[in-house]
Structure 1
C-alpha cells in the first residue's frame, strides 16, 4: 500500500525531524530509525456476518516529539470478520520512522463507509462518536527498534466493540466502542482446542454451541462478558464445527506470552448486561511465543 506523510516529508526526513524534536529522550534513539508494520485482526464473533471498517490513515505518537501522521493514498476497507482465527491484514508495511518509545496509535476512519451486515442479510449503520475528529485511539506503549523491523497487530475484538446506542444521541443502528489491543507479533502464541459439545448438550441445557472464554492470568474465576463492568474475559471465542462437521473447535490467536484461564459456556451472553452463566472445563493454560497451546473442553463427569 502507498502512504502519504504529513506536510509532504519523506519517511526518512520525517523520522529525523521527530528524532530531533525528542532531544535524545526515551522517545528517540539519537537519529536512528527503524521500520514498523501494523496489522489488523479480530477476535472471533458470530453476532454479524460482516463488519466493514474503512481506514484512511494511522498516527504514531513518540514519547518525545511530534506525532507522525501517515495518510493512505487509497482508503483501506476491511471486513473484520474475515480476520479471525489468526488471520490479519496489513495497515502499514515496513514504514521507516524514528526508533524509540511510542505512547499511542490513532487509526483514522472514513465514517461514511462503516457498516455491519446482520444475520438476515440486512445492512445496518455504524457510528463512532467524535471518530471523524480523533479517530480510534489506542493508548498502549510500544518500541520501534533501531535498525530493525518491528511488527505489531491490533486486535479489534468486534464482540466487545459494537453495542446498541440506546438513545445516546447516535444517529446509527450500532455504536462502535472499540476495545483495541496491541501485541508484538514476536511475542504472541495461540490457544486451540476441541469442545465435547454433543455430550455437554445432553447433560446441560445449551442455548447454542457456546463460546470459550479466555482470561488473562491463572486461576481466574470465570465471569460473563459485560462491557459496562470492569474485568471479565480478554476475549470470548465462538465454538464451531464449520471446518469439520460434528467436531467442535475454537482458536484464540494473538495472545501475548503468559498464563491464561480458559473456560466454556453454552448459554447466551449479552455483552451489555450481567448474565449468570454456567461455566465448565475451567483450566489454566500457558501461552508460549510462536507456539500453539491446547486446551480441550470435556463434558463434566456425571
Structure 2
C-alpha cells in the first residue's frame, strides 16, 4: 500500500470502501422494460495496492440497479447455483487493474444507485494477512445490522443507458480502509455499512485483469470465453492481436484459437474500445487450462537500476476446474539497447536503457521478454500502463509543481497541456469537482502553506511524447492533518457549524496557531466524527464511528483532552478561504469502571479481543493508518481486554 493511501485511509469513511467489491460480477441479463429497448453496461472494479492482506476472497450473490425514471430496481444478475465459483473474487488481485466479469444488457434509462448482495457467512470468505496467516472463519465478524448482506452505492453522476450503446461504470475501493476491514491480532471485523459512491469513468486507457476461461464461440473477428465466474465475455481481435499457442510454446494464430472452440481454454489480456467493446491485445490458448502461462507479465515497479528494474508480478496456478490462485513475487527484468518502451500501448517513449531514468517505483508496467526461458531475462518491450507521483507539494508556480518527501529529492513536474489529457485537480473524495483552473490550485496550496500545513497529493502522470517527459494530468489533494496535540478552544454548535481549535505548526513544532474549522452535515463530502474512549480502571477502549451530528455539540467541547482533525481549504466565490473538516476523532479518558462511552451511542458491533499486548497500542496500531506520521508495530507486553465498537451510518 503506497504512502498516499496510508494518508487517505481515514477519509475513505465517506467515500469508497469494502462495498465497492460488489461490482465484481458476471451479468447474464434479460428483459428490456416496457418498450423492450436495451443497452449494454460494463461493470468494472479496481483497487490500489495493499500491504495488509495477501488475499481477501468474498462471494457476490446478486446485483441490482435502480432505475431513476421508473423508481424501480432492475435485477441484473444472480449467481448461478450450478457454478460454485460464480461471484467469487479475490480483491487483492485487483491491485491497480480493473476486473470485468460480465457484459450486461439492461433496459434503457437513467440509473443512480447500485445494490449488491454478498454472502456474509464467514465460512465463504478467505482472508490471509500480510505474513501469510489465514484468518479462521470463527474469528470473522460481519457488521450487517439488516442481516441481508446488502450494500448500496450511489452513482454520481447518474448513468444513462442508451439503446444499442454500451455504458461503462467503474468503482474504485481501498482495501486498506481501516473501518471496512479491521484486523486486530487475528480478530477481523468486516463493515458493510460505510457510505460510498460509484463514478462513471473514462476507462479507455485502463488496464484490465487477465480473463481466463473455456473457449465457447468464435466468429469472424470475435471470440467468447466462459470464465470461472460463469460469465461469458466476448473479445474483438484485430491485426495487432498477439496469439500464443501454449501447447506448442510458440506463436499462434486466430485459426488455431478457433480450432479449440468447445474443447480448449484461453487466457486473455484486453483493453477497451471507444464504443465500450473489448479487444484482445494478447491471447494464450491451449487444449487444457493447466497448460496456460503460470504468470502474467504485468507488475508494479519496485526498484530501478542502470540497466534493470525489479517488478512485483503475479504468478498464477490454474487447475482443470478453472480455479485460478495466485501470489506475488519480485522478478528482475534487464533492459538492453533494443528494448522498446511505450506508454498505454501506443505512445512511444523511446528505446534502450536511457528510458529507465523516467521510471519510478509504483509504476505499473507490462513486459514482453525476448526469450522467456533464457536467464537473465531481457525485455523485448516494456509498456507503462500507469504512472504516478506522490508526496508533499513543496512549491507551485503557473508552470510546475514541486513534489518531495522528507527522505527524497524534490521532483519538478509540469502541468499537462496534451490534447484530451489537460491538467485537472480536485480534493480527495470529490472527483466530480475536478477543475482545470491552475490559479485556483495555486491559491489553495498557498492557503495551506500560509497555515503551515503539510500538503500531500497524488498526481496521475501522462507521457508528453513531444517533450519527452512526464506531465501531471490529474492531481488529488489529500486531507491535511492538524499536528498533535490539537485541542478544542471553542465548542461546536449547530448554529455556528464550526469549532475553534489550537494546534501546532507542521513546519515549526514550537509555534502555536489557532484555527476555525467548519463541520459539514450536508453536501458531497460530509464530516465524519468518531469517538475514542479509554477507561483507565477497566482498561477498556471504545471506538465509536460515526458519531451522529445531533451528538456533536455534547462531544466536541473544550473539555476534551485531545482531538485529531483532518481538513481541506475551501474557496468561496468572493475568493476567501475557510477550513472544512474531513474527519474529527475525539479522545477521552475516564477513571471510573463501566462508564458508558457516551449517551445515545448504539454500536452496530461490540467486539471483545483477548490478547497478550496493550490494547491501547493495539488499537493505535489500527488508528495509525489514519496518519502518515504514526506507524506502530511493536507493543509492550500486557494481558488485558479491549473493545472495538463500530456504529453503522443511518
TM-score for the superposition, normalised by structure 2: 0.28
1:136 and 2:151 correspond:
yes
Residue 26 of structure 2 contacts residue 103 of structure 2 at CA under 8 Å; is this kept in 1? no
Say whether the 8 Å CA contact 1:109–1:132 is kept in structure 2.
Answer: no
Higher mean alpha-carbon deviation, 182-191 vs 98-107, is at 182-191
Give secondary structure in 2 for the equivalent of 1:95.
strand
Distance 2:57 2:456 in 1: 22
The structural deviation recorded for 1:137 is 1.0
State the partner residue of 1:147. Answer: 164
- The answer to whether structure 1 residue 54 and structure 2 residue 64 are counterparts is no
The 8 Å contact of residues 35 and 144 in structure 1, kept in 2 or not, is answered as: yes
Gaps of at least 5 residues in structure 1 are 6-10, 21-29, 167-171, 204-213, 223-232, 238-256, 279-302
Q: Please state if 1:193 is matched with 2:389.
A: yes
Of 66, 86, 100 in structure 2, the residue corresponding to residue 90 of structure 1 is 100
**Given the superposition, is the C-alpha separation of residues 143 and 42 from structure 1 closer, same or farther in structure 2, using an over 3 Å criterion?**
same
1:71 aligned residue: 78
Q: 1:100 aligns with which of 95, 102, 109?
A: 109
Superposed, which structure 2 residues align to 1:249-264 within 5 Å?
A: 260-261=476-477
- Contact 2:390/2:457, CA 8 A, preserved across alignment: no
2:190 counterpart residue number? 175
CA drift of 1:262 comes to 6.1
Change (3 A) 1:235 1:163: farther
Higher RCO, 1 or 2 (CA under 8 Å, sep at least 6)?
Answer: 1
Tell me how far 1:83 sits from its aligned partner: 0.4
For the structure 1 residues 264 and 122, does the alpha-carbon distance in structure 2 shift closer, same or farther, using more than 3 Å as the test? Answer: farther
Of 161, 173, 176, the match for 1:156: 173
In 2: Cα distance, 1:185 partner to 1:272 partner: 31
Q: 2:48 aligns with which of 37, 43, 68?
A: 43
Distance 1:83 1:62, change over 3 A: same
- Give the 3-state SS of the residue equivalent to 1:46 in structure 2: coil
1:33-78 residue CA offsets vs partner (Å, 9 max, x unmatched): 2111112212322222212121122111101143112202132211
1:122 maps onto 2:318 in alignment = no
1:94–1:199: structure 2 CA closer, same or farther, 3 Å change rule?
closer
Distance across 1 between alignment mates of 2:200 and 2:91: 19
> Does the C-alpha gap of structure 1 residues 41 and 275 become closer, same or farther in structure 2, counting only changes over 3 Å?
closer
Q: In structure 2, do the counterparts of structure 1 residues 202 and 58 end up closer, same or farther at CA, with 3 Å as the change threshold?
A: closer
User: 1:115: Cα distance to partner?
Assistant: 3.7
Q: 1:133 to 1:4 in 2, by over 3 A?
A: farther
Question: For the Cα contact (< 8 Å) 2:46–2:170, is it kept in 1?
Answer: yes
CA contact (8 A) 2:181 2:188 kept: no
Counterpart Cα distance in 2 of 1:49 and 1:88:
18
* Cα distance between partner residues in 2 of 1:234 and 1:136: 31
TM-score (norm 1): 0.55
Aligned length: 210
User: In 1, distance between residues paired with 2:78 and 2:457?
Assistant: 31
Report what 1:34 is aligned to.
Answer: 39
Closer, same or farther in 2 for the Cα pair 1:145/1:4, shift >3 Å?
closer
234 and 185 in structure 1: CA distance in 2 versus 1, 3 angstrom threshold: farther
Residue 261 of structure 1: how far off its partner (Å): 2.5
Name the SS of the counterpart of 2:131 in structure 1: coil
Superposed CA offset, 1:52-109 (max 9, x none): 1211221111011431122021322111111012x12224x22211112112111211
CA 1:270 to 1:99, structure 2 compared with 1: closer, same or farther past 3 Å?
Answer: farther
Q: 1:83 to 1:236 in 2, by over 3 A?
A: farther
**Relative to structure 1, is the Cα distance of residues 202 and 62 closer, same or farther in structure 2, using a 3 angstrom cutoff?**
closer
Q: Secondary structure at the match of 2:95?
A: coil
Q: How does 1:218-297 map to 2 (within 5 A)?
A: 218=441, 219=444, 260-261=476-477, 272=623, 277=628
* Contact in 1 for aligned 2:45/2:100 (Cα 8 Å): yes
Provide the aligned C-alpha RMSD in A: 4.3
The answer for unaligned runs of 5 or more in structure 2 is: 1-24, 206-385, 393-403, 410-426, 435-440, 449-454, 460-472, 482-619, 630-650
Secondary structure of 2:72's aligned partner: coil
Q: 1:187 to 1:264 in 2, by over 3 A?
A: farther
Tell me, yes or no, if the aligned pair for 1:33 and 1:98 is still in contact at 8 Å: yes
Q: Could you say if the C-alpha distance between residues 128 and 4 of structure 1 is closer, same or farther in structure 2, counting changes exceeding 3 Å? A: farther
